[in-house]
Amino acid sequence: MSDSRPAIARSRPVRPLDLQGDYPAWLLRAAVGIPSVSGEELPVAGFLAEQLTALGFDAHVDEVGNVHGVIGPSTAPTVMLLGHIDTVPGRVPVCQIGDLLYGRGAVDAKGAMVAMICAAARSSDVRVHVVGAVGEEVAGGRGALHVMATVPKPAAVVIGEPSGWDGICLGYKGRTGIGYEMQQPPLHTSSPEPTAVEWAVRFASEVQGYLRGLSPEADPIAFGVATGTLTWLRGDLARAEAFLTCRVPPGFDFAALERFAKSLPHSRIWVDERVPGVTRPRADPVVSQLRAAIASRGVRPTLKLKAGSSDMNTLDPWGVPMAAYGPGDAHLDHTIDEHIALSDLYRAIDVLALTLPRLARQLPAPAAETVDRPPALVGPAPHDRTHSLEA
């Protein structure tokens, strides 16, 4: 099927009927067709700003590359819909086969981004601030941190991530990444002493064992279990480096893990970020209204806890009602088979469009605008992506 645009001039306002027709599907195809690997998001940000303007939003791209669109009466409570516009590397040819749209970012997370834009454009009696954040797929959460530092706190937040159109994500594990380096004089291969690369392998095994020992549960996917994944290893007899990505539950003691890591033989150890895990109760107003909107379509909502992390972790210190929602199967994130059902995109738009005004009626009226500065523990500043534990 060709990827031609519907007959909508980008310089003209988009008509309400377009939002019920082929415009959402076209918008997602167009957004997925613009590569936006982390650090290279500006082209898609500019495109989405143009579309937001055509839809009647007050739109702009900020200093770090986030795209913003605000719509609705200033006297109404503000609900922020924050997704991310960056993707992991890897080419997935953009094509549509029947109801399925294939392409990098279709699920994670341009599908959610488009659903939020179209739902906000259909809503009334609520002020909606849509944000397409940069840098979610890499350590540091640069885009979401910039939003926290520069944008007044909203009354509620929906994070755009794939939960399935009939699912709601109540929480995410936290994350930290531990880097390891060992340098030593080269040894003969007949020596009984460990080589540098053997030290690195032992380090990874010891850290993984430490994390497993923190919980009696054996299932590594369980939300209360901390896990460590060796993501790369390189070295030889004299020098070796390794890196582990650790997924950790809420309340995890990062300092204790770092003390344990430093107790092992090493030349240098560093971490890239310390992102706490987050959970929200079923009674959270955002969760409640999303559940009601899904149930109104005759489906029982599925509540989920994710083993990964998201910008929900970063924005959690705001302390406002919050949950994650968006179309797509998260099992397809980052895969060569990434695709989304367009019918699920339209269902998600309907759910969000029903949720927004109902949620607004539950929220307090706007107060004086203030900007909350993010705490240091949420993640590193944009210019400092690692925390050195020992030189």
Is 40 among the catalytic positions?
Answer: no
**Does a cis peptide bond (omega within 30 degrees of 0) precede residue 133?**
no
What is the bridge-based pairing of β-strands 167-172 and 156-160?
A: unpaired
Distance CA 334, CA 87 (A): 8
Q: Are 129 and 369 in contact (CB under 8 A)?
A: no
Is 136 among the catalytic positions?
Answer: yes
Apex 290 CA angle, 314 and 99, nearest 5: 95
Distance CA 282, CA 54 (A): 36
Closest CA to 390 of 276, 259, 248, 242: 259
Q: Which of 18, 41, 108, 136 is catalytic?
A: 136
Q: Which of 18, 41, 86, 284 is catalytic?
A: 86
The region, left, alpha or beta by phi > 0 then psi within -120 to 50, assigned to residue 362 is alpha
Q: Is 198 exposed, middle or buried (0-12, 13-18, 19+ CB in 10 A)?
A: middle
* Catalytic residue set: 86, 136
